[in-house]
Amino acid sequence: MQKLTNKEEEIMHILWKLEKAFVKDVLAEITNDKPHYNTLSTIIRNLEDKGFVAYNAYGKTHQYYPIVTKEDYKKRFMTAAIDNYFNNSYKNMVSFFAKEEKISVDELKEIIALIEKQK
């Protein structure tokens, strides 16, 4: 699975939310830095080339839909992030968030309980 640009990822989140959409529908969902219609159409075609979306053709109009699930993308994204930034160590990742005060002691206890429950 190829890496997505920030804008491509933003568009994928919209397509995951809408499930099926024409370019105009995607454009309507963008709140900040709206691209030109043609630019957005190019981004969506790039997502098609990368294997993330497909479409149904209605004459000259295309209705796009995701063929990569949000869950699959999340797994690959997180695996790559943990590998690239935390030396493939989940312990290093959790330690990072604890040091940055992005995770509380109660949340860590919940995570431990989940792990122990799965044993």
* Chain-centre distance for alpha carbon 72: 9
φ and ψ at 69, to 5 degrees? Answer: -75, 155
Identify the pLDDT of residue 32.
86
Each residue's pLDDT expressed in tens, for the chain with a length of 119 residues:
788 999 999 999 999 999 999 999 999 999 888 999 999 999 999 999 999 999 999 999 999 999 999 999 999 989 998 999 999 998 999 899 888 888 888 998 998 899 898 87
DSSP 102: -
Q: What is the pLDDT of residue 98?
A: 87
Instruction: Look at the pTM and tell me if it is higher than 0.95.
Output: no
